[in-house]
């Protein structure tokens, strides 16, 4: 892809590209010696910071002359030659997995919302401004009906006045959402913060797609903090929607007027977005899932970013040699690198294996599709769990030394996990883990509470979704996994880390935000912070929030001004860099 430097950074861009045109050794010298090092100003506490801090909008990159990596989520509608209809039912691109009842809002609901909008306009001297994203061709007639109701509820009413300004973006149109975002960027006024709110109708994959499209829009550079994102949950797990107070499922199309009211009242909050770099030790076949479109990791095509990513993996693993040659003859090890971004969780092993076979059943069998369309997806998960959980391998057999970046100390280099994975006692056994989880929010696997309870070991602070730290947890076997999903057992807490890297000598199942895949070969893996995004948290119960219950509470989230103005557990500031699309 093309290099896209800003005019003020052209010299930096040319230096970076020049350094990357050499060998791998010269590449290592051209980058900063330590990409995780923090400057003194970054490690000092700050008392206040504006909620519109532009640093919230930029991708994470450490060190001068480092390339800013843009997620390589495929935006093509053609699906590499497949029919356009396949694109519209894909859950990453606005597909509706759990169809709400096709009932429309009642007259009382419409009048209540109109009255609320008039009161809002009278108080703030402006109308609410909402940009909604929905795929009108997904979910049978559900997408079309939902789009109609959004237009009716936001448009002109009986008195001739609009309830809201803004528009409804139809994700089934080939040029969307880029057209809507470019038009929005031309009219967005940075001097009027928090006046525009985005509403994504879909699941976790659709949210990742829209967040990626926002980051890829050049006209929105430096303005992303002005576009907080709310969610109407229409996917399968909807973990991010649950955590933010938007519930796990939209029950009826008529509820959309209630969601619009909650969006208008919602508060912006900060959320860490993470990325995973994955280097398989063998070349993946052409029909492998990682070579298809979706929210799973995508192959990095740009040679400069690919070279930087390979160097990052070796530096994080603390090795200079390439991974071992595969058993398929004497061919050199593969150098393909895949990158994916996620907000909720990343896991390896047992639960990813079950999720993989559930995904196969949902995609390839009529019974699996029927289960999810009728809201019985947990039945499919239970059946696949019984079938697939008994023959999972110990991760300690294939996983080499796990390297982490301490969350409680201002260290500049990644170190081996202490104690090592094979020596950690978890679930009444030492080193016998079949599932490793990296968790960022308080909802896992469709609403499970897996976050460790305070006080945490080693004086680690209470987990937050914007603290730059991941909680690392593990599960021993299928019996303890059943206890986890039955909600009477928690995973074993292993560590809190700002980055994590490891090498697998054998193939394994993996998933991020519920999107699973299988590797039949070993791989190198690096998980690190990508950037901070701005989301919308539903109002608390005293202000009309309907979906807060149990461990899902608004206290888990903090507004950007409260969190970023405070002292998070770690803070990473972007520096001058060339911007490179991959």
Domains and CATH numbers, the chain: 84-265 (3.40.50), 274-346+395-532 (no CATH)
515 forms beta bridges with 512
pLDDT of residue 400: 79
Rounded Cα gap, residues 299 and 336, in angstroms: 7
Convert 359-375 to b/e letters by CB count within 10 Å (16 or more is b).
bebbeeeeebbebbbee
pLDDT by position in tens, the chain (length 582) = 333 333 333 333 333 323 333 333 333 333 333 444 333 333 333 333 333 333 333 333 333 344 566 665 444 443 343 444 455 555 556 566 677 888 999 999 999 999 999 999 999 988 999 999 998 887 777 889 999 999 999 999 888 899 999 999 998 888 889 999 999 998 887 776 558 999 999 989 899 999 999 998 989 988 898 999 999 999 888 999 999 999 988 999 999 999 999 999 999 999 999 999 999 999 999 889 998 888 889 999 888 889 999 999 999 998 877 776 655 544 566 789 999 999 999 999 888 888 888 888 777 777 666 776 666 666 666 666 667 766 667 787 888 778 998 777 766 788 888 877 777 777 767 767 888 999 999 998 888 888 887 777 766 778 899 989 999 988 887 677 777 777 777 888 888 899 999 999 899 999 999 899 999 999 999 999 999 999 999 998 877 778 898 889 999 997 654 433 333 333 333 322 233 333
Burial of 52 by CB count in 10 Å (0-12 exposed, 13-18 middle, 19+ buried)? middle
Q: If we measure between CA atoms, which residue out of 499, 320, 326, 324 comes closest to residue 402? A: 499
What is the DSSP-derived secondary structure letter of residue 326? Answer: P
**Parallel, antiparallel or unpaired: strands 515-519 and 523-537:** unpaired
Rounded Cα gap, residues 468 and 498, in angstroms: 6
pLDDT of residue 174: 81
- Answer for the pair 515, 91: CB distance below 8 angstroms, yes or no: no
State whether the Cα torsion 11-17-22-28 is positive or negative: positive
pLDDT of residue 69: 61
pTM: 0.81
**Parallel, antiparallel or unpaired: strands 338-342 and 435-439:** unpaired
Helix or strand or coil: residue 30?
helix
Q: Which residues contact 268 (CB under 8 A, 6 or more apart)?
A: 51, 194, 228, 534, 535, 536, 537, 559, 560
Rounded Cα gap, residues 104 and 102, in angstroms: 7
pLDDT of residue 90: 57
Rounded Cα gap, residues 122 and 133, in angstroms: 27
pLDDT of residue 31: 34
533 forms beta bridges with 271
């Amino acid at each position: 892809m093309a290099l896209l430097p800003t005019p003020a950074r052209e010299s930096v861009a040319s230096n970076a590209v020049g350094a990357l045109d050499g060998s791998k050794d010269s590449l290592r010298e051209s980058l900063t010696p330590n990409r995780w090092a923090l400057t003194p100003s970054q490690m000092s506490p700050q008392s206040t910071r504006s909620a519109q801090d532009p640093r919230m909008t930029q991708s994470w990159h450490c060190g001068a002359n480092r390339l800013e990596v843009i997620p390589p989520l495929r935006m093509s509608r053609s699906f590499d030659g497949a029919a356009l209809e396949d694109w519209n039912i894909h859950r990453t691109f606005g597909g509706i997995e759990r169809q709400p009842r096709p009932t429309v809002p009642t007259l009382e609901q419409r009048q209540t919302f109109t009255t609320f909008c008039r009161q809002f306009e009278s108080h703030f001297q402006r109308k609410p401004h909402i940009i909604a994203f929905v795929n009108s061709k997904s979910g049978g007639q559900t997408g079309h009906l939902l789009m109609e109701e959004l237009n009716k509820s936001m448009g002109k009413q009986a008195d001739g006045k609009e309830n809201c300004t803004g528009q409804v973006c139809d994700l089934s149109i080939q040029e969307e959402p880029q057209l809507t975002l470019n038009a929005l960027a031309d009219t967005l006024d940075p001097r009027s913060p928090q006046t525009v709110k985005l509403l994504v109708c879909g699941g976790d994959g659709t949210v990742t797609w829209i967040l990626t499209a926002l980051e890829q829009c050049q006209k929105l550079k430096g303005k992303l903090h002005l576009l907080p994102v709310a969610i109407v949950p229409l996917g399968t797990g909807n973990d991010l929607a649950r955590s933010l107070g938007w519930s796990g499922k939209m029950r009826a199309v008529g509820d959309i007027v209630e969601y619009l009211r909650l969006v208008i009242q919602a508060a912006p909050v900060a959320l860490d977005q993470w990325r995973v770099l994955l280097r398989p030790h063998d070349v993946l076949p052409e029909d492998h899932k990682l070579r298809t479109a979706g929210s799973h990791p995508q192959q990095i095509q740009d040679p400069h970013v690919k070279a930087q990513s390979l160097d990052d993996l070796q530096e994080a693993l603390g090795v200079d040699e390439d991974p071992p040659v595969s058993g398929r003859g004497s061919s050199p090890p593969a150098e393909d690198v895949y990158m994916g971004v996620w907000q909720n969780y990343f896991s390896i092993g047992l639960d990813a294996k079950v999720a993989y076979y559930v995904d196969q059943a949902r995609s390839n069998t009529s019974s699996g599709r029927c289960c999810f369309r009728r809201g019985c997806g947990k039945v499919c998960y239970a059946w696949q769990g019984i079938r697939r959980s008994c023959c999972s391998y110990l991760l300690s057999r294939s996983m080499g030394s796990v390297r982490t970046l301490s969350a409680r100390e201002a260290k500049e280099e990644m170190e081996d996990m202490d104690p090592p994975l094979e020596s950690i006692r978890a679930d009444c056994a030492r080193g016998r883990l079949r599932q490793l989880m990296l968790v960022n929010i308080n909802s896992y696997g469709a609403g499970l509470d897996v976050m460790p309870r305070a006080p945490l070991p080693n004086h680690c602070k209470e987990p937050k979704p914007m603290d730059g730290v991941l909680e690392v947890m593990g599960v021993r076997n299928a019996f303890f996994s059943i206890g986890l999903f039955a909600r009477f057992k928690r995973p074993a807490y292993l560590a809190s880390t700002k980055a994590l890297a490891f090498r697998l000598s054998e193939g394994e199942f993996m998933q991020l935000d519920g999107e699973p895949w299988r590797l039949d070969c070993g791989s190198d893996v690096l998980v690190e912070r990508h950037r901070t995004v701005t989301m919308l948290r539903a109002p608390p119960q005293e202000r009309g929030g309907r979906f807060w219950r149990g461990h899902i509470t608004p206290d888990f989230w903090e507004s950007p001004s409260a969190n970023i103005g405070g002292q998070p557990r770690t803070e990473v500031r972007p520096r001058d860099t060339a911007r490179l699309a991959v």
